[in-house]
Amino acid sequence: MGNKRVALWDNLKFILIILVVVGHFINIRNSVTYHSIFIFIYSVHMPLFIFLAGLFHKNEGIWKKAIAFLAIYILYELSIYGIKRAFGVKAKIDMLHENSAPWFMLVMVYCIILGFLLHKLMEHKVWKWVVVGAFFAFGCFAGYITDIGGFLSLSKATSFIPFYFLGMALDRKKLEALAENKKLKISGVAVVAIWLIICLIFMKTVYQTRPYFVAREGFPETADFAFIWKLQCYLCSCVIGFFLIMAAPTRDIKVITTWGSRTIQVYFWHKLVLYVFKYTDLDKWFYDGGVHKTLWIIVAVATTCLLSLKVFKFPTGFIMDLTRQKSDSKAK
Protein backbone atom coordinates (compact mmCIF):
# COMPACT_ATOMS: atom_id res chain seq x y z
CA MET A 1 0.00 0.00 0.00
CA GLY A 2 2.88 2.35 0.76
CA ASN A 3 3.88 2.37 -2.90
CA LYS A 4 0.41 3.10 -4.27
CA ARG A 5 0.39 6.17 -6.51
CA VAL A 6 -1.50 9.17 -5.18
CA ALA A 7 -3.39 11.15 -7.84
CA LEU A 8 -2.51 14.50 -6.24
CA TRP A 9 1.18 14.17 -7.06
CA ASP A 10 0.72 12.93 -10.61
CA ASN A 11 -1.79 15.70 -11.30
CA LEU A 12 0.67 18.23 -9.91
CA LYS A 13 3.53 16.80 -11.97
CA PHE A 14 1.45 17.15 -15.14
CA ILE A 15 0.85 20.83 -14.30
CA LEU A 16 4.56 21.29 -13.69
CA ILE A 17 5.67 19.60 -16.91
CA ILE A 18 3.30 21.87 -18.85
CA LEU A 19 5.02 24.83 -17.17
CA VAL A 20 8.42 23.40 -18.10
CA VAL A 21 7.54 23.04 -21.77
CA VAL A 22 5.77 26.41 -21.98
CA GLY A 23 8.72 28.05 -20.21
CA HIS A 24 11.20 26.71 -22.74
CA PHE A 25 8.97 27.53 -25.71
CA ILE A 26 8.45 31.16 -24.71
CA ASN A 27 12.09 31.65 -23.70
CA ILE A 28 13.09 31.90 -27.37
CA ARG A 29 10.97 35.06 -27.70
CA ASN A 30 11.72 38.64 -26.66
CA SER A 31 8.27 39.64 -25.43
CA VAL A 32 7.11 41.65 -22.41
CA THR A 33 4.17 39.31 -21.85
CA TYR A 34 6.37 36.24 -22.22
CA HIS A 35 8.86 37.73 -19.75
CA SER A 36 6.10 38.03 -17.17
CA ILE A 37 4.91 34.46 -17.73
CA PHE A 38 8.54 33.29 -17.68
CA ILE A 39 9.12 34.62 -14.14
CA PHE A 40 5.83 33.12 -12.96
CA ILE A 41 6.86 29.73 -14.33
CA TYR A 42 10.49 29.77 -13.21
CA SER A 43 9.61 30.83 -9.70
CA VAL A 44 7.98 27.47 -9.05
CA HIS A 45 8.31 24.72 -11.66
CA MET A 46 11.82 23.34 -11.06
CA PRO A 47 11.91 24.06 -7.31
CA LEU A 48 8.69 22.10 -6.94
CA PHE A 49 9.80 19.27 -9.25
CA ILE A 50 12.97 18.78 -7.18
CA PHE A 51 10.99 19.16 -3.95
CA LEU A 52 8.72 16.30 -5.07
CA ALA A 53 11.76 14.14 -5.81
CA GLY A 54 12.94 14.73 -2.24
CA LEU A 55 9.47 14.08 -0.87
CA PHE A 56 9.59 10.61 -2.44
CA HIS A 57 13.25 9.92 -1.60
CA LYS A 58 13.99 6.29 -0.76
CA ASN A 59 17.28 4.78 0.39
CA GLU A 60 16.81 1.85 -1.97
CA GLY A 61 18.53 1.27 -5.27
CA ILE A 62 20.42 4.54 -4.84
CA TRP A 63 23.25 3.76 -7.22
CA LYS A 64 20.90 2.33 -9.85
CA LYS A 65 18.87 5.55 -9.75
CA ALA A 66 21.97 7.74 -9.90
CA ILE A 67 23.37 5.79 -12.85
CA ALA A 68 19.98 5.92 -14.60
CA PHE A 69 19.78 9.72 -14.36
CA LEU A 70 23.40 9.99 -15.45
CA ALA A 71 22.66 7.76 -18.45
CA ILE A 72 19.67 9.92 -19.41
CA TYR A 73 21.84 13.03 -19.02
CA ILE A 74 24.45 11.66 -21.41
CA LEU A 75 21.81 10.46 -23.88
CA TYR A 76 20.07 13.85 -23.71
CA GLU A 77 23.35 15.64 -24.47
CA LEU A 78 24.02 13.37 -27.44
CA SER A 79 20.45 13.78 -28.75
CA ILE A 80 20.66 17.58 -28.63
CA TYR A 81 24.03 17.46 -30.38
CA GLY A 82 22.63 15.09 -33.01
CA ILE A 83 19.57 17.18 -33.84
CA LYS A 84 21.64 20.37 -34.10
CA ARG A 85 24.09 18.71 -36.46
CA ALA A 86 21.19 17.27 -38.47
CA PHE A 87 20.03 20.82 -39.19
CA GLY A 88 23.56 22.03 -39.94
CA VAL A 89 23.90 24.00 -36.71
CA LYS A 90 27.38 24.32 -35.23
CA ALA A 91 27.54 22.28 -32.02
CA LYS A 92 29.96 20.44 -29.78
CA ILE A 93 29.69 17.81 -27.10
CA ASP A 94 30.75 19.06 -23.67
CA MET A 95 29.47 16.77 -20.92
CA LEU A 96 31.19 18.81 -18.21
CA HIS A 97 29.39 22.09 -18.89
CA GLU A 98 25.61 22.24 -19.02
CA ASN A 99 23.01 24.88 -18.23
CA SER A 100 20.35 23.82 -20.73
CA ALA A 101 17.59 21.26 -20.10
CA PRO A 102 19.83 18.23 -19.35
CA TRP A 103 21.09 19.92 -16.16
CA PHE A 104 18.10 18.53 -14.27
CA MET A 105 19.29 14.95 -14.76
CA LEU A 106 22.76 15.76 -13.45
CA VAL A 107 21.40 17.62 -10.42
CA MET A 108 19.15 14.65 -9.67
CA VAL A 109 22.29 12.50 -9.46
CA TYR A 110 23.68 14.89 -6.83
CA CYS A 111 20.39 14.94 -4.93
CA ILE A 112 20.01 11.16 -4.82
CA ILE A 113 23.57 10.58 -3.58
CA LEU A 114 23.52 13.44 -1.05
CA GLY A 115 20.11 12.30 0.19
CA PHE A 116 21.53 8.84 0.78
CA LEU A 117 24.66 10.12 2.53
CA LEU A 118 22.67 12.43 4.84
CA HIS A 119 19.58 10.28 5.34
CA LYS A 120 20.42 9.54 8.99
CA LEU A 121 20.44 13.25 9.80
CA MET A 122 17.24 13.72 7.79
CA GLU A 123 15.50 11.16 10.01
CA HIS A 124 16.24 13.25 13.14
CA LYS A 125 13.56 15.77 14.23
CA VAL A 126 16.04 18.60 14.78
CA TRP A 127 19.05 17.85 12.61
CA LYS A 128 16.99 17.56 9.45
CA TRP A 129 16.08 21.23 9.73
CA VAL A 130 19.72 22.13 10.38
CA VAL A 131 20.61 20.37 7.12
CA VAL A 132 17.78 22.10 5.22
CA GLY A 133 18.76 25.50 6.64
CA ALA A 134 22.43 24.93 5.80
CA PHE A 135 21.65 24.10 2.16
CA PHE A 136 19.40 27.14 1.77
CA ALA A 137 22.00 29.38 3.43
CA PHE A 138 24.70 28.05 1.10
CA GLY A 139 22.37 28.61 -1.84
CA CYS A 140 21.95 32.25 -0.81
CA PHE A 141 25.71 32.87 -0.93
CA ALA A 142 26.97 30.39 -3.55
CA GLY A 143 26.30 32.94 -6.28
CA TYR A 144 29.20 35.01 -4.99
CA ILE A 145 31.61 32.27 -6.08
CA THR A 146 33.10 33.83 -9.20
CA ASP A 147 33.59 30.68 -11.25
CA ILE A 148 30.30 28.99 -10.45
CA GLY A 149 28.20 28.37 -13.51
CA GLY A 150 27.65 25.62 -16.04
CA PHE A 151 30.59 23.44 -14.98
CA LEU A 152 28.92 20.19 -13.86
CA SER A 153 25.77 22.33 -13.51
CA LEU A 154 27.08 23.51 -10.13
CA SER A 155 25.19 26.81 -10.20
CA LYS A 156 21.94 24.93 -10.76
CA ALA A 157 22.88 22.36 -8.14
CA THR A 158 23.62 24.83 -5.33
CA SER A 159 20.42 26.69 -6.15
CA PHE A 160 17.99 23.77 -6.33
CA ILE A 161 19.35 21.03 -4.04
CA PRO A 162 17.88 22.79 -0.94
CA PHE A 163 14.38 22.00 -2.26
CA TYR A 164 15.23 18.30 -2.41
CA PHE A 165 16.13 18.27 1.29
CA LEU A 166 13.07 20.34 2.14
CA GLY A 167 11.04 17.58 0.49
CA MET A 168 12.88 14.94 2.51
CA ALA A 169 12.17 16.87 5.72
CA LEU A 170 8.41 17.18 5.27
CA ASP A 171 5.66 14.62 5.83
CA ARG A 172 4.04 13.64 2.53
CA LYS A 173 0.89 12.31 4.24
CA LYS A 174 0.30 15.62 6.02
CA LEU A 175 0.59 17.52 2.75
CA GLU A 176 -1.89 15.12 1.15
CA ALA A 177 -4.31 15.72 4.02
CA LEU A 178 -3.93 19.49 3.71
CA ALA A 179 -4.58 19.31 -0.04
CA GLU A 180 -8.01 17.82 0.71
CA ASN A 181 -9.01 20.95 2.63
CA LYS A 182 -11.44 22.94 0.46
CA LYS A 183 -10.52 26.31 1.99
CA LEU A 184 -6.83 25.69 1.35
CA LYS A 185 -7.62 24.57 -2.18
CA ILE A 186 -9.49 27.81 -2.90
CA SER A 187 -6.67 29.77 -1.25
CA GLY A 188 -4.16 27.89 -3.41
CA VAL A 189 -5.90 28.84 -6.63
CA ALA A 190 -6.24 32.46 -5.44
CA VAL A 191 -2.60 32.85 -4.39
CA VAL A 192 -1.23 31.32 -7.60
CA ALA A 193 -3.55 33.54 -9.68
CA ILE A 194 -2.53 36.65 -7.72
CA TRP A 195 1.16 35.86 -8.26
CA LEU A 196 0.56 35.52 -12.02
CA ILE A 197 -1.25 38.88 -12.06
CA ILE A 198 1.61 40.50 -10.12
CA CYS A 199 4.09 39.13 -12.66
CA LEU A 200 2.01 40.52 -15.53
CA ILE A 201 1.46 43.97 -13.98
CA PHE A 202 4.88 44.56 -12.42
CA MET A 203 6.93 42.88 -15.13
CA LYS A 204 9.93 45.25 -14.97
CA THR A 205 10.31 44.76 -11.26
CA VAL A 206 9.83 41.00 -11.11
CA TYR A 207 11.99 40.39 -14.19
CA GLN A 208 14.99 41.56 -12.18
CA THR A 209 14.72 38.28 -10.31
CA ARG A 210 15.43 36.22 -13.44
CA PRO A 211 19.11 35.48 -12.65
CA TYR A 212 18.15 34.22 -9.18
CA PHE A 213 15.32 31.94 -10.32
CA VAL A 214 17.15 30.60 -13.39
CA ALA A 215 20.53 30.22 -11.62
CA ARG A 216 22.55 29.69 -14.77
CA GLU A 217 25.59 31.33 -13.20
CA GLY A 218 26.68 33.43 -10.23
CA PHE A 219 25.01 36.60 -9.04
CA PRO A 220 25.01 39.67 -11.33
CA GLU A 221 28.09 41.79 -10.60
CA THR A 222 26.01 44.96 -10.39
CA ALA A 223 23.54 43.57 -7.83
CA ASP A 224 23.53 45.00 -4.32
CA PHE A 225 22.70 42.59 -1.49
CA ALA A 226 22.33 39.76 -3.99
CA PHE A 227 21.93 37.21 -1.19
CA ILE A 228 18.79 39.07 -0.07
CA TRP A 229 17.39 38.82 -3.60
CA LYS A 230 18.16 35.09 -3.59
CA LEU A 231 16.54 34.63 -0.17
CA GLN A 232 13.40 36.44 -1.36
CA CYS A 233 13.28 34.18 -4.42
CA TYR A 234 13.62 31.11 -2.20
CA LEU A 235 10.74 32.31 -0.03
CA CYS A 236 8.64 33.06 -3.11
CA SER A 237 9.27 29.57 -4.53
CA CYS A 238 8.33 27.96 -1.21
CA VAL A 239 5.12 29.96 -0.80
CA ILE A 240 3.93 29.61 -4.40
CA GLY A 241 5.00 25.97 -4.43
CA PHE A 242 2.96 25.21 -1.30
CA PHE A 243 -0.16 26.88 -2.65
CA LEU A 244 0.23 25.20 -6.04
CA ILE A 245 0.25 21.86 -4.21
CA MET A 246 -2.92 22.93 -2.42
CA ALA A 247 -4.51 24.01 -5.72
CA ALA A 248 -3.75 20.74 -7.54
CA PRO A 249 -6.67 18.29 -8.00
CA THR A 250 -6.61 15.38 -5.58
CA ARG A 251 -8.86 12.98 -7.49
CA ASP A 252 -7.85 10.68 -10.31
CA ILE A 253 -8.49 12.48 -13.61
CA LYS A 254 -7.73 9.46 -15.81
CA VAL A 255 -5.64 10.78 -18.73
CA ILE A 256 -4.17 13.75 -16.82
CA THR A 257 -3.17 11.62 -13.84
CA THR A 258 -1.66 8.99 -16.13
CA TRP A 259 0.27 11.58 -18.10
CA GLY A 260 1.55 13.05 -14.84
CA SER A 261 3.38 9.79 -14.19
CA ARG A 262 5.34 10.19 -17.46
CA THR A 263 7.01 13.57 -16.98
CA ILE A 264 10.59 12.37 -17.50
CA GLN A 265 9.84 11.28 -21.07
CA VAL A 266 8.26 14.67 -21.82
CA TYR A 267 11.26 16.45 -20.32
CA PHE A 268 13.59 14.43 -22.51
CA TRP A 269 11.73 14.85 -25.82
CA HIS A 270 10.29 18.37 -25.63
CA LYS A 271 13.57 20.22 -26.16
CA LEU A 272 14.25 18.18 -29.27
CA VAL A 273 10.80 19.07 -30.62
CA LEU A 274 11.47 22.73 -29.87
CA TYR A 275 14.70 22.57 -31.86
CA VAL A 276 12.77 21.19 -34.83
CA PHE A 277 10.40 24.18 -34.66
CA LYS A 278 13.33 26.55 -34.32
CA TYR A 279 15.64 25.19 -37.02
CA THR A 280 12.86 24.77 -39.59
CA ASP A 281 11.67 28.33 -38.86
CA LEU A 282 8.16 27.04 -38.12
CA ASP A 283 8.23 29.00 -34.87
CA LYS A 284 8.52 32.35 -36.67
CA TRP A 285 4.85 32.24 -37.62
CA PHE A 286 4.06 32.73 -33.94
CA TYR A 287 6.23 35.83 -33.48
CA ASP A 288 3.85 38.75 -33.72
CA GLY A 289 0.48 39.62 -32.26
CA GLY A 290 -1.38 38.47 -29.19
CA VAL A 291 -3.25 35.74 -31.07
CA HIS A 292 -0.06 34.22 -32.45
CA LYS A 293 1.63 34.35 -29.02
CA THR A 294 -1.35 32.63 -27.46
CA LEU A 295 -1.28 29.97 -30.17
CA TRP A 296 2.42 29.39 -29.45
CA ILE A 297 1.57 28.61 -25.82
CA ILE A 298 -1.20 26.29 -27.02
CA VAL A 299 1.36 24.54 -29.24
CA ALA A 300 3.57 24.06 -26.17
CA VAL A 301 0.69 22.55 -24.17
CA ALA A 302 -0.25 20.32 -27.11
CA THR A 303 3.38 19.19 -27.37
CA THR A 304 3.28 18.24 -23.68
CA CYS A 305 0.16 16.14 -24.22
CA LEU A 306 1.56 14.47 -27.33
CA LEU A 307 4.86 13.56 -25.66
CA SER A 308 2.96 12.13 -22.67
CA LEU A 309 1.70 9.28 -24.86
CA LYS A 310 3.13 5.86 -24.10
CA VAL A 311 4.84 5.66 -27.49
CA PHE A 312 7.38 8.27 -26.28
CA LYS A 313 8.31 6.24 -23.21
CA PHE A 314 11.51 5.05 -24.88
CA PRO A 315 14.33 5.55 -23.96
CA THR A 316 13.77 7.20 -20.55
CA GLY A 317 11.06 4.81 -19.42
CA PHE A 318 13.21 1.81 -20.25
CA ILE A 319 16.14 3.25 -18.31
CA MET A 320 14.08 4.22 -15.26
CA ASP A 321 12.28 0.85 -15.21
CA LEU A 322 15.64 -0.77 -14.53
CA THR A 323 15.82 1.11 -11.19
CA ARG A 324 12.37 0.18 -9.90
CA GLN A 325 11.80 -2.45 -7.24
CA LYS A 326 9.27 -5.22 -7.94
CA SER A 327 6.83 -3.61 -5.48
CA ASP A 328 7.05 -0.33 -7.37
CA SER A 329 6.24 -2.04 -10.64
CA LYS A 330 3.16 -3.68 -9.15
CA ALA A 331 1.99 -0.36 -7.69
CA LYS A 332 2.35 1.31 -11.03
Q: What is the DSSP track for 153-164?
A: THHHHHHHHHHH
Q: Span 68-86, mean pLDDT?
A: 97
| 288 band by pLDDT with thresholds 50, 70 and 90 | confident
Of the candidates 20, 59, 56, the residue with the CA atom closest to the CA atom of residue 167: 56
pLDDT at 325 over 70: no
Alpha-carbon gap, residue 199 to 19, rounded angstroms? 15
CB of 226 closer than 8 Å to CB of 219: yes
Q: Does position 329 have pLDDT exceeding 60, yes or no?
A: no
The SS3 of residue 97 is strand
Say what the pLDDT of residue 29 is. Answer: 76
Reported confidence tier of residue 330, pLDDT bands at 50, 70, 90 = very low
- Say yes or no to pLDDT of 332 above 60: no
d(CA 260, CA 305): 10
Q: Give me the pLDDT at residue 3, please.
A: 59
Residue 271's nearest CA partner among 96, 34, 71, 73 is: 73
Listed by start position, the domains of the chain span 7-331
- Has residue 289 got a pLDDT over 90? no
Q: What is the mean pLDDT of residues 97-118?
A: 96
Task: Give me the mean pLDDT over the 84-110 stretch.
Answer: 94
**What would the pLDDT profile of 303-317 be if each residue is shown by its tens digit?**
999 999 999 999 999
Q: What pLDDT is stored for residue 290 in this prediction?
A: 78
* pLDDT of the residue at 331: 41
Band (pLDDT 50/70/90 cuts) for residue 328 is low
Q: Which amino acid is at 183?
A: K
Portion of the chain with pLDDT greater than 90, in percent: 84
**Interatomic CA distance for residues 29 and 293, integer angstroms:** 9
> What pTM did the predictor assign?
0.94
Q: Which residues contact 36 (CB under 8 A, 6 or more apart)?
A: 199, 200, 203, 206, 207
Q: Which residues contact 241 (CB under 8 A, 6 or more apart)?
A: 44, 47, 48, 51, 163
pLDDT score at 195? 98
Rg, C-alpha atoms of the chain: 19
Tell me whether the omega of the peptide bond preceding residue 211 falls within 30 degrees of 0, making it cis. no
Average pLDDT over residues 14-18: 98
**Average pLDDT of 99-113?**
96
Tens digit of each residue's pLDDT (9 = 90 or more) over 17-65:
999 999 999 997 778 889 999 999 999 999 999 999 999 999 999 999 9
Query: Given this model, what pLDDT does residue 285 score?
Result: 84
pLDDT value of residue 1: 38
Is the pLDDT assigned to residue 147 strictly greater than 90? no
Any idea which of 60-64, 188-192, 285-289, 314-318 has the lowest mean pLDDT?
285-289
Is 155 a residue whose pLDDT tops 80?
A: yes
